[in-house]
Homo-oligomer: A and B are copies of this chain.
Amino acid sequence: GYSARMEHAGGGVIFRQLFEPVSCTYTYLLADPGSKEAVLIDPVLETVDRDVKLIDELGLKLKVAVNTHCHADHITGTGLLKKKLYGTKSAISRHSGAKADIMLSDGDSITFGKHCLNVRNTPGHTDGCVTLVTGDQSMAFTGDALLIRGCGRTDFQQGCSKTLYNSVHTQIFSLPGHCLIYPAHDYKGQTVSTVYEEKKFNPRLTKSLEEFVKIMANLNLPKPAKIDVAVPANLVCGLHDV
Contacts and interface: CB of A to CB of B under 8 A. Distances in A.
B138 A21 contact: no
Interface in A2-42: 2-9, 12-21, 33-34
A5 B1 contact: no
Nearest to A190: B18
A4 to B, nearest CB: 5
A21 B20 CA distance: 11
A50 interface: yes
A3 B18 contact: no
Given A4-B6, A9-B5, A138-B6, A50 B189 contact: yes
Contact of A33 (B3, B18, B190, B192): B3
Interface in A37-91: 47, 50, 54, 57-58
Interface residues of A, number: 40
A113 to B, nearest CB: 11
Contacts of A19: 19, 189-191
A21 B57 contact: no
A129 interface: no
A178 interface: yes
Contact of A191 (B4, B12, B18): B18
B8 A178 contact: yes
Nearest to A182: B6
A23 to B, nearest CB: 11
A146 interface: no
A231 B33 CA distance: 43
Given A16-B192, A189-B20, A139 B6 contact: yes
A59 to B, nearest CB: 10
A14 B4 contact: yes
22 contacts: A1-B14, A2-B14, A2-B33, A3-B8, A3-B9, A3-B13, A4-B14, A4-B15, A5-B6, A5-B13, A6-B15, A6-B180, A7-B12, A8-B138, A8-B176, A8-B179, A8-B180, A16-B190, A16-B192, A19-B189, A19-B191, A47-B189
The 10 residue pairs across chains A and B that have the minimum distance between CB atoms: A1-B33, A19-B189, A8-B178, A5-B12, A3-B12, A3-B14, A17-B191, A5-B9, A4-B15, A3-B33
